[in-house]
Amino acid sequence: MSKRAGNKPLEARKASPLLVSLSAVFLGIVAGCIFILCIGKNPFAGFERILFGALSNTRRIGNTLGMSTQLILIGLSVAFAFKTGLFNIGASGQMLIGGITGSILAFYLPMSMPRPVYLFIVIVAAMATGAFWGFLSGLLKARFNVHEVVSTIMLNWIAYWIVYDFIPRFIIDPTISVKSKPIETAHTLRADWITDITSFSTLNYGFFLAIIMCIVVWFILQKTTLGFNLKAVGSNRFCAEYAGIKVNRSIMISMAIAGALASLAGLTYYCGYSNIMEMGKMPNEGYDGIAVALLGNCSPIGIFFSAIFFGILKMGRGSLAATGIPTEIADTIIATIIYFTATNVILASFWNKIFRSGFSKKEGAAIAAMKQKGIAKPIEQLSREEFRTLAKEGKTLVNKDKKEGR
Amino acid sequence: MLDIWKEFPGIIANGGITLQVEEGEIHAILGENGAGKSTLMSILFGLYHADKGIIKVRGKEVNIKSPNDAFDLGIGMVHQHFQLVHNFTVAENIIMGKEGGFVYDIRKASRKIKEISERYGLSIEPDMVIEDITVGMQQRVEILKMLYRDADILIFDEPTAVLTPQEIDELMQIMKNLAAEGKSIILITHKLDEIKAVAKRCTIIRRGKLIGVVDVDKASVEEMAAAMVGRPVSFKVDKAPSRPGKPILEIENLSVMNSKKVLGVKNLSLTVHGGEIIGLAGVDGNGQTELVEAITGLRKAESGTIKFNGKDITGISIAERNAMGLGHIPEDRQKRGLILNAPLTSNMVIKKFTEAPFSNHGILNYPEILGYTEKIIEKFDVRSGEGADSLAGKLSGGNQQKAIIGREITADPDLLIAVQPTRGLDVGAIEYIHKQLVNERDRGKAILLVSFELDEIFNLSDKIAVISGGELIDIVDTADTDEHSVGLLMAGIRKGEEK
């Protein structure tokens, strides 16, 4: 048991979160194939259609990325709260808050305003109202010990009815009286140059905002005292309290930041991806974001890719209908993936077992090689390179032994 | 158990350990923390599976895959933390899982329990509810549970950690009764005098390797300790007489509520000077926790004042108290002391990460944090698989405690509150930690030691303060008293009240 400062001990590999997530995706796709086979269709044709629908031309790629935008931001929101030990189910309501803030400002701010100034104002305003919305849950938890799952769900409905009231009050479309007026393109997050290169897709500045937020969240969690603070509270609030960290304050800050991120998602959704808000519609994306965060292992880079993956499934499913495969198959695949992600412990132990048996085979080979060469050194003291070459040499020895029937 | 091997990442927990226990024998297993005692027992109990080796019970080779297999073979374990349902009666707890059919006969079970209880001198009433009986009795219920299941091999994992001196004596007697009736007992402990008192033979393991089996009668306590640690150990802490300096901690008329909303600490006054160790003696649950939490800021004081270095700190935040130089080795190292799923680096700066040089303008400075952590690891001999990046939860209990003590002492506090600093640790680690505390005292720091073990209090303290029922009964000079008189004070009997 020698001390190897900064040096990992020689041991079997461990399943990484990436491998576990990829396994979940793989199993989800396999399950999807089985479903498609069950209804007597060709699964490869089905997946070919999904990929075709999502990625076959620049417009479709643009739409997929446009769809992924809000999934990235919601995934970040859920993951951020999760790191502080909080479960943010309220992303849907926070999205609505961000959407209504952006939509109202879009009509009440003058068109003459310079675009960068306008964009800056709506982004800050949407994040601020969303932060307030998240903060309310944090406050309820910190002050009155109301569980955030309960408070965020209730706040979802409060947001829902606020939108229901505000649309007719401020921004109703008189011709279709259940929707808001479409926002002028100059007051959405869309940009001509993006629309041009992606042939009128829904892709907008929101996608870049999402990428920036991935970096910001990564930076906060990994490099700042704030992130340290929040993670400490999330991992062991008793220890955090003992160390002098203000647990209640951390809970409120974390929920506020999560709210701001989800609200930003709402802004990109209602004032970028789309340009209207409907009355009486709770966005599903708030719940999809939980799946995105889980599959992405709550890390910003993981969330980015898992959001794009879900975006592909969501955009591509529309094209499934042409093959006679019901579009619900895509939803089933998503659900199956979530299921397998939730059982990540089983997946990880499956891989660990495989790695361990591979490692002990190598170890046996290395010992055989060492015996032949007469190296008398405990195997733990070998360096990685030595171990690797010895294992290779030993393998041929072991195989030869086997052939000779020993 | 013959030639048992078990490997964990980076550590060989059991490297060819053989343990042979005879019928009717009390066999002790002695080893430092992380020596592999618990691993070995977990293998016997079916919680882990050995990589290599054979287990034989009554001469027959067996394969124990789960605790149920162990039960079937007559192997029972009394865990350190009792596994009882608090609002069930003794009888209900004992028959749980062994009700025998859909409708169970509690009266028949009660009769059997009473019978067993009388046979081994356990004096347990089957109709009592668990939450109404003492810790010592709860432990005897655990023993009864094993006997009810006809266990012949009983494993006791650090059984005396939670008992008062009188209860320990009773337990020792019970163990002897059991052995006399032909039961085999495996006693895992780090307390050598207990081994001396009851065990016939003792298997000593060190760092996963078998060191030897000794006949307890023929070996001295010092020899066994030396074999376990690998070098001679001194039990008495060498320390010069204390030179008390100015008062560091002054508590006046402090009252604190406990979690049941009644006064846990009543009108308590106590002063701790620099350069002295005050030992707070008392039976667990007599207000120690509330007092410590009030001083450290984890709990609000109802009335009274706490002064630290002359300044009133009664109402200020935990962070401010930490910054003023208040160090705290918490009672529960896994709940309060460490974030188990965070690396040592984070744990070592958890009280300091907002300060330079560990962060500047809110941005963490990882190289500084790493350097600081490695300094503590080096100085306090914290052993871990992957150095500073090891998760705190992967360390053995002793090394976790060393890490906490290293963190607190390196922060150079004026007052160090050490609560049960050596609980569950082996003699090597205890010796080391005691030395560190005396060192701090000699550097002029004030130390408030809270411990439920009188040995520790007597070994370290310059003065002993005795708490009972939340009140400070008396403060005495260690030199002028003995365990008997402190024991009486702990029971709440003041001087002069004694017949």
How would DSSP label each residue in B120-161?
TT----TTSBGGGS-HHHHHHHHHHHHHHTT-SEEEEESTTT
Band (pLDDT 50/70/90 cuts) for residue A17 is confident
Band (pLDDT 50/70/90 cuts) for residue A381 is low
Q: What is the pLDDT of residue B91?
A: 86
Place of tokens 């150095």: B387
Query: For testing the chain B interface, which of A221, A223, A242 should be mutated: the one with the most B CBs within 10 Å?
Result: A242
Specify the long-range contacts of residues B305-308, CB closer than 8 Å, at least 24 apart: B305/B250, B305/B251, B305/B252, B305/B253, B305/B254, B306/B249, B306/B250, B306/B251, B306/B252, B306/B254, B307/B249, B307/B250, B307/B251, B307/B252, B308/B248, B308/B249, B308/B250, B308/B414, B308/B415
Q: What is the pLDDT of residue B34?
A: 65
Residues of A with CB under 8 A from a CB of B: 1, 3-9, 11-12, 223-229, 231-232, 235-236, 238-246
Strands B52-57 and B2-8: antiparallel
**For residue B341, which residues of chain A lie inside 8 Å, CB to CB?**
235-236
Band (pLDDT 50/70/90 cuts) for residue A5 is very low
pLDDT surpassing 90 at residue B492:
no
**For residue B322, which residues of chain A lie inside 8 Å, CB to CB?**
243-244
Residue B398, Cβ neighbours under 10 Å: how many? 24
Alpha helices in B181-275 (DSSP H): 192-198, 221-229
User: B87: closest CA among B143, B148, B135, B128?
Assistant: B128
Q: What is the pLDDT of residue B100?
A: 62
pLDDT surpassing 50 at residue B257:
yes
DSSP string for B388-427: GGSBGGGS-HHHHHHHHHHHHHHT--SEEEEESTTTT--H
Q: How far is B353 from chain A (nearest CA, A)?
A: 7
Band (pLDDT 50/70/90 cuts) for residue B157 is confident
**In this predicted model, which residue has the larger pLDDT, B223 or A402?**
B223
Q: Tally the C-alpha atoms within 13 A of residue B27's C-alpha that lie toward its C-beta.
A: 22
Band (pLDDT 50/70/90 cuts) for residue A220 is very high
Q: Do A236 and B335 touch (CB under 8 A)?
A: yes
Q: Do A243 and B340 touch (CB under 8 A)?
A: no
pLDDT surpassing 90 at residue A68:
yes
Closest partner CB to B319 (pick from A236, A239, A244): A244
Q: What is the pTM of this model?
A: 0.77
Q: What mean pLDDT is predicted for residues B278-298?
A: 90
Helix H or strand E segment including A392: helix A384-403
Q: Is the ipTM of this complex over 0.90?
A: no
User: A130: closest CA among A261, A250, A254?
Assistant: A261
pLDDT surpassing 80 at residue A380:
no
Closest partner CB to B362 (pick from A8, A224, A232): A224
Q: Do A9 and B339 touch (CB under 8 A)?
A: no
CATH of B247-490, one of 3.30.70.270, 3.90.1150.10, 3.40.50.300, 1.25.40.10: 3.40.50.300
Query: For testing the chain B interface, which of A222, A228, A229, A246 should be mutated: the one with the most B CBs within 10 Å?
Result: A228
With CA atoms as reference, the chain B residue closest to A223 would be B364
Q: How far is A310 from chain B (nearest CA, A)?
A: 30
Q: Are A71 and A288 in contact (CB under 8 A)?
A: yes
Mean pLDDT computed over every residue of chain A:
88
Q: What mean pLDDT is predicted for residues B386-392?
A: 87
Q: What mean pLDDT is predicted for residues B387-399?
A: 85
**For residue B338, which residues of chain A lie inside 8 Å, CB to CB?**
236, 239
For CATH 1.10.3470, list the domain ranges present in chain A. Answer: 17-342
**For residue A11, which residues of chain B lie inside 8 Å, CB to CB?**
9-10
Q: Quick one: tokens of B135?
A: 């810790």
**In this predicted model, which residue has the larger pLDDT, A370 or B299?**
B299
% of chain B with per-residue pLDDT over 70? 93
Q: What mean pLDDT is predicted for residues B439-462?
A: 90
The dihedrals phi and psi of B357, each to the nearest 5 degrees, come to -90, 5
Band (pLDDT 50/70/90 cuts) for residue B33 is low
Mean pLDDT computed over every residue of chain B:
85
**For residue B374, which residues of chain A lie inside 8 Å, CB to CB?**
5
Q: What is the pLDDT of residue B168?
A: 80
Domain B2-229 in CATH 3.40.50.300 = yes
Burial class (CB within 10 angstroms; exposed 0-12, middle 13-18, buried 19+) of B474: middle
Closest partner CB to B298 (pick from A3, A226, A242): A242
Interface A-B: count of C-beta contacts within 8 A:
99
Q: What mean pLDDT is predicted for residues A235-253?
A: 94
Q: How far is B141 from chain A (nearest CA, A)?
A: 31
User: B255: closest CA among B300, B195, B197?
Assistant: B300
Q: Tally the C-alpha atoms within 13 A of residue B229's C-alpha that lie toward its C-beta.
A: 21
**For residue A245, which residues of chain B lie inside 8 Å, CB to CB?**
319, 350
- Which residues, in sequence order, are CB contacts of A48 under 8 Å at separation 6+? none
Q: Do A3 and B387 touch (CB under 8 A)?
A: yes
User: A76: closest CA among A204, A202, A211?
Assistant: A211
Domain ranges across chain B: 2-229, 247-490
Residue B1, Cβ neighbours under 10 Å: how many? 20
In this structure, the dihedral spanned by the alpha carbons of residues B180, B182, B183 and B187, taken in order and rounded to 10 degrees, is 50
pLDDT, tens digit, for every residue of A69-100? 999 999 999 999 999 999 999 999 999 999 99
Q: What is the pLDDT of residue A372?
A: 77
pLDDT, tens digit, for every residue of B176-195? 888 888 888 998 877 788 88
Sign of the CA dihedral with A368 first, then A369, A374, and A376 last? negative
pLDDT surpassing 80 at residue B428:
no
pLDDT surpassing 80 at residue B367:
yes
Q: What mean pLDDT is predicted for residues B376-385?
A: 87
**In this predicted model, which residue has the larger pLDDT, B15 or A171?**
A171
Amino acid occupying residue A189: L
**In this predicted model, which residue has the larger pLDDT, B76 or A220?**
A220
Query: For testing the chain A interface, which of B14, B386, B389, B390 should be mutated: the one with the most A CBs within 10 Å?
Result: B386
User: B79: closest CA among B161, B156, B145, B25?
Assistant: B156
pLDDT, tens digit, for every residue of B340-357? 999 999 999 999 999 888
% of chain B with per-residue pLDDT over 90? 30
Q: What mean pLDDT is predicted for residues B290-302?
A: 93
Domains B2-229 and B247-490 share a fold: yes
pLDDT surpassing 60 at residue B316:
yes
A157-171, B48-62, B449-463, range with greatest mean pLDDT: A157-171
pLDDT surpassing 90 at residue B403:
yes
With CA atoms as reference, the chain B residue closest to A12 would be B9
Q: Do B336 and A242 touch (CB under 8 A)?
A: yes
With CA atoms as reference, the chain A residue closest to B353 would be A225
| Angle between helical axes of A328-342 and A344-373 (0-180°, round to 10) | 60
Q: How far is B34 from chain A (nearest CA, A)?
A: 11
Paired strand residues for B77: B155
**For residue A4, which residues of chain B lie inside 8 Å, CB to CB?**
386-387
pLDDT, tens digit, for every residue of A281-326? 999 888 889 989 989 989 999 999 999 999 998 888 888 877 888 8
DSSP letter at B241 equals: P
pLDDT surpassing 70 at residue B118:
yes
Band (pLDDT 50/70/90 cuts) for residue A364 is confident
**For residue A226, which residues of chain B lie inside 8 Å, CB to CB?**
362
Band (pLDDT 50/70/90 cuts) for residue B300 is very high
With CA atoms as reference, the chain A residue closest to B207 would be A1
User: A335: closest CA among A291, A304, A286?
Assistant: A291
pLDDT surpassing 70 at residue B387:
yes
Q: Do B353 and A242 touch (CB under 8 A)?
A: no
CATH annotation of A17-342? 1.10.3470
Q: Are A202 and A70 in contact (CB under 8 A)?
A: no
With CA atoms as reference, the chain B residue closest to A381 would be B10
